[in-house]
Structure 1
């Protein structure tokens, strides 16, 4: 008879997410994951198949617990006119005020795309979907906030804001002030 599982895969994925986020995929060794999760190698392999399987679970956890909740107000059937500004202000705070994982490490997904793992087709698919989700959410926020603009102007503003958000996420771990400036530029464009 097998042992009774004393952990949930979500808890393990959440813990592993932080290790991968802090160290990156390539610089995270299985002993690091064993120490952080309290699981041995065989339990990790049994539950997730491999280090990569655990990384994929950590990425899904990142999307579920970090990204999607932040974007939720921009993804509903009805988007409030202040939703985009609220999103950008929250992102600014996460990047510039205190010690958050985002401020310390940048975006987990963008970091992974800059590593050798970024050549992996399945990761590229996940990142492309994330980029589309962010663009769609920001587009909805722009439409709600800036109904005074025509469709082409709204699209241009959404592309600009999305680009500024991605740029801020890419630079935040190196220069939080510069990342904050990028988010402030997005806010200024929305408020103009």
Structure 2
């Protein structure tokens, strides 16, 4: 009969997530994870599998939670959809210029493990990026229906452009670009959107 677990699984997974997030996958050893969680190697292996399986669990949870947080920020009526999207990206710009600059676990994990041929990670990352693009597309389509975006525009192409801006904010923030520059990038991207004649008035 299996022995009941004597630890808080959610707390352990948060500690593991922060360890991977702060140090990266390769630089994190099982000894690091044991120290961070207070668990022995046998307990970690027994509950979560090996290091890669543990990372996959953290990575998948991070992607899922990020997508849900984005959905909640962007959902709403057609009216105000464009402003919600702009506000979300401006928030991302501010966060990217924050003092920790540890960036996004999705981007960091993908960049690190893609070169190792970890298709389970890259497949999940692609799914997440496509999900972000889909949420941006939906928001832009709402703005288009409301008359804030030109009827001739392709919401998906605009969403792909904004996705590139969104991912670029983190890379530039980690390099030390200040908040004003990052927010300026977002404002410039939105100034370049094909708006309707009604909105121009």
Residue in 2 aligned with 1:37?
A: 37
TM-score normalised according to structure 1 size: 0.82
Judged with a 3 Å threshold, the aligned counterparts in structure 2 of structure 1 residues 23 and 126 are, in CA distance, closer, same or farther, namely: same
Residue in 1 aligned with 2:96?
A: 95
Q: Deviations over 1:143-185 (max 9, x none)?
A: 2234432354433321211111112223321224254443333
2:114 and 2:29 map into 1 onto residues whose CA distance is: 15
Once the two structures are superposed, the pairs formed by residues 124-143 of structure 1 within 5 Å of their partners are 124-143=122-141
Contact 1:21 1:108 in 2 (8 A): yes
Residue in 1 aligned with 2:188?
A: 185
Residue in 2 aligned with 1:57?
A: 57
Residue in 2 aligned with 1:69?
A: 69
2:2 and 2:137 map into 1 onto residues whose CA distance is: 50
Per-residue deviation, 1:109:
1.9
Judged with a 3 Å threshold, the aligned counterparts in structure 2 of structure 1 residues 85 and 171 are, in CA distance, closer, same or farther, namely: same
The structure whose Rg is larger is 2
Residue 122, structure 1, aligned to residue 125, structure 2: no
Which of 98, 103, 106 is residue 106 of structure 1 equivalent to? Answer: 103
2:18 and 2:124 map into 1 onto residues whose CA distance is: 18
Per-residue deviation, 1:71:
3.3
TM-score normalised according to structure 2 size: 0.79
Contact 2:34 2:41 in 1 (8 A): yes
Once the two structures are superposed, the pairs formed by residues 157-168 of structure 1 within 5 Å of their partners are 157-168=158-169
Q: Deviations over 1:95-127 (max 9, x none)?
A: 23x445xxx122212222222455211111101
Contact 1:13 1:61 in 2 (8 A): no
